[in-house]
Amino acid sequence: MRVPLRAIAHSRSGDKGNTSNITVIAYDEALYPFIKEQVTEEAVADYYSGVVKGKVTRYNVDKLGALNFVCEGALGGGVSRSLCIDNYGKSLSSGILTMEIEVPDRLANLLRTNAMNNEAGQ
């Protein structure tokens, strides 16, 4: 089944200058391998094409079931230099949770159904 990341993970973020740091953390260790396989540097760069102008580097934090992405050239020059409203790390980390990935049906009991309902506008 195809689900939004928010049904299987949460995120944290930070920003420094023109670089955004986005961490995706699996709710359950059984879900982490599917996140790790599908939420790649290339997938994140493609997802944020037009927003992230530089390199995307992924760091695996396997013991925590987390992926940390460092996105360069992501903040329109940086918080104090950008003319964009709320184009900072927090909005990018929230946005990543709308990315959809494939998860086996057998793990449906691990999904956060409220997150899926919110995504569908219910």
Q: Give me the DSSP letters along 28-86.
A: STTTHHHHHHHS-HHHHHHHTTTT--S-EEEEEEGGGTEEEEEEET-STT-TTT--STT
| Local confidence pLDDT in tens for the 122 residues of the chain | 999 999 999 999 887 777 888 999 999 999 999 999 999 999 999 998 988 889 999 999 999 999 999 988 877 665 555 555 555 556 777 889 999 999 999 999 999 976 555 555 44
What's the rounded Cα separation, in Å, for the pair 8 and 85? 29
pTM attached to this predicted model:
0.83
What's the rounded Cα separation, in Å, for the pair 67 and 35? 8
48-79 pLDDT, tens digit per residue, is 898 888 999 999 999 999 999 998 887 766 55
